[in-house]
Structure 1
Amino acid sequence: MRLCLRLCVFSLTLAVLHGCGGSDEIEKFQVTGTVTYQGKPIEKGSITFDPADNQGISAMGGIENGQYTAEVPPGEKIIRVSAVRVTDEKDEYGEAITETYIPAKWNQDSQLKKTVKPGEENKFDIALD
């Protein structure tokens, strides 16, 4: 009987403690769109959505053939785009050299902002000059 009572108290304690913890899951929404640079789709790269107020987490998605999809928390975001391309040059081992070609104003210095809204289609087509 005592063992049964102890097991019941232990089980009840675990249930209460489990229920007291908040969820660490952050609500995210699908964001899609296209990205072009100088009128051409970015073949391969990445797009980052940083919180405009520096609060919360960032989200990132891959860019393939000018298309991207990302799961992003709601709110105003600063959008940063990065991409590399292969040059005609080779390194000392004969491997192709790549270069980053998206200017800083669309990457680390970006001021491009969009707002991710719950319950809405979050489709952002981005044309970089």
Structure 2
Amino acid sequence: MRRNLALVVCLIFGSLGCGSNSSAPGMHPVKGTVTFDGKPIETGRILFRQSEGDGQAFSAEIVDGSYELEVKEGPSDVTITASRLLPGKFDNSNGTPEQMGEMYIPSKYNRKTELSALVTPDGENEFPFDLISK
């Protein structure tokens, strides 16, 4: 009984610091837009990985060309991924037709990223990324 009560108390107090209004030390709000060939990316993912120190990563969804998240201050390598359905392409290998998709963001923006950002404690930390297919 005491062990259960202690567990409940730990869970309650452990969750108090997890609110979205309070930032952990060294973390800062980051936001921006992502376009591909001049058009907002409808849905995708953006990841900021610390390029110095422990290499921590912070990611968020891209929705209608916009993203928001909290990132640890300092320089980061940025990767962006997104997929889209291919019209008229179906995978019938399992007997059930499922529309196929493709990852369409070039590797220079994800696996071999050329993107970076410097998150600062006193800056706006707004990073627009205008990606191109070529």
- Runs of 4+ in structure 1 deviating by more than 4 angstroms, as ranges, are none
Could you tell me how far 1:79 is from its partner in structure 2? 0.7
Stretches of structure 2 that go unaligned for 5 or more consecutive residues are 1-23
Q: 1:123 is matched with which residue?
A: 126
SS in 1 for 2:69: strand
Superposed displacement of residue 26, structure 1: 5.0
The size of the alignment, in residue pairs, is 105
CA deviations 1:46-67 (Å, max 9, x no partner) are 0000111262411001100000
Aligned counterparts of 1:106 and 1:26: Cα–Cα separation in 2 = 29
1:72-103 Cα offsets, whole Å, 9 max, x none, are: 00000111000000112111121111110001
Q: Distance in 1 between matches of 2:25 and 2:116?
A: 21
Q: 1:105 is paired with a residue of what secondary structure?
A: helix
Equivalent AA in structure 2 for residue 126 of structure 1: F
**Root mean square deviation, CA, Å:** 1.3
Give the gaps of 5 or more residues in structure 1: 1-24
TM-score, length basis structure 2: 0.74
CA apart distance, 1:114: 1.0
Secondary structure in 2 matching 1:123 = coil
Matched residue, 1:91: 91
User: Which has the greater radius of gyration?
Assistant: 1
| Whole-Å separation in 1 of the counterparts to 2:59 and 2:36 | 18
- SS of match in other structure, 1:87: strand
